[in-house]
A = this chain, B = another copy of it.
Amino acid sequence: MTSDVTAGRAPSIRDVARLAGVSHQTVSRVLNASPSIRDETRARVLDAMESLQYRPNRAARMLVTSRSRAIGILTSNRVHYGPSSSVMAIEEAARAAGYAVVTASLPSSEPEAIIAALDHLLDQAVEGLVVIAPQTRVFDALASLSIRVPYVTMQSTERDEWHALSVDQITGARIATRHLLELGHRSIYHLTGPQDWIEAEARMRGFLAEMSDWDVPTTAPILGDWTADFGYRAGKELLRFRDFTAVFSSNDQMALGFLHAVRDAGLDCPGDISIVGFDDIPEAAHFAPPLTTVRQDFPELGRRCVALLLGQLEGEPGTRTPSCRSSWYGRRRRHRLASARASAPRSRQPLPTRDGVELTASRGRVLH
């Protein structure tokens, strides 16, 4: 008796039900695609929804199902190509699966900041977490909060194998390293990312493994912070001695800075010093000289993250492998991949490909 025509309130299933001449439960069944609804009834309900501009109340559904259908992304606040692209892909994949994405970025890597960010996400009742950040620290913070939410990262750690993700950074790093070795380089420096980034560690491991396979002695990797500024400073420092002929940088930004230092030293990049980067950021082809780098399929990585996470959310916790292949998701993914490929106007020639990683020779130029 209370609610009249155009109340201030948003329409609820009861409003729809009244208009369609059915019970609110029937409306609910239509919403949930229950099979036991006559087509004619369903049509009437849908009409009523349409004319009322009905939108299900997320809060109410959440309350009763105690599922938020939201996942959280915890990112470092540094703006890098890889993480950003992954976030986009994660968001799209999650949306396609009917999940919302809530982000929290880390103003710093202090434990308190991490805990605050996690707390924020948990307040949003996220059902799962994708971590694109210093992973070991986040893991510690999660443990300290003692709240168990499924989460995935871009790469597995020793501590919990089941979060593994298979774009294989180790292989990518090996490819990059092998490339330099095949060019004849025997003293190669490695610029790595922050230690507690799993990606950095994996790439470093790949580098060391490949060097070891070739029986080439290595110097200690240089711990960087992903930035071009660091690459530049490192280059300035290392070039004072010139006890090397090649550098494998863990990402393209640091490689850019290093290139800068090489130019500053009056040296020639393909000639005197070879550099290989990692990530294949869109700008890499326009560095001076164009950078040889290892392409990472970040969107694919993001999509796999979501698939893995959703597999854990929907299936029983513990399974891990087949979740990536659940039918509805596989279909969408294939579609997206196809369209992405069609729209890519890249002019570089891919070199040997292997599980989502490839080495690119920038603009066809011989590798440097």
Contacts and interface: CB of A to CB of B under 8 A. Distances in A.
A229 B63 contact: no
A105 B104 CA distance: 16
Given A103-B101, A288-B263, A88 B81 contact: no
Contact of A85 (B55, B79, B85, B107): B79
A173 interface: no
Given A91-B103, A102-B100, A105-B88, A283 B228 contact: yes
A120 interface: yes
A80 to B, nearest CB: 9
A126 to B, nearest CB: 9
Interface in A131-174: 146-147
A117 B63 CA distance: 24
A33 B53 CA distance: 37
Interface in A95-110: 95, 100-105, 107
Interface of A: 10, 53, 55-60, 62-63, 66, 68, 70, 75, 77, 79, 81, 84-85, 87-88, 91-92, 95, 100-105, 107, 117, 120, 122-125, 146-147, 227-229, 231-232, 253, 256-257, 259-260, 263, 282-283, 285-288, 290, 336, 345
A58 B125 contact: yes
Oligomer copy total:
2
A62 B57 CA distance: 10
A308 to B, nearest CB: 20
Contact of A81 (B56, B79, B101): B79
Contacts of A282: 79, 227-229, 253
Closest 9 CB pairs of A and B: A59-B62, A288-B288, A59-B63, A260-B286, A79-B84, A228-B286, A228-B283, A88-B105, A100-B124
A227 B285 CA distance: 11
Nearest to A260: B286
Given A100-B120, A100-B124, A283-B228, A105 B81 contact: no
Nearest to A298: B79
A102 B102 contact: yes
Given A123-B55, A229-B345, A259 B283 contact: no
A103 B71 CA distance: 11
B286 A232 contact: yes
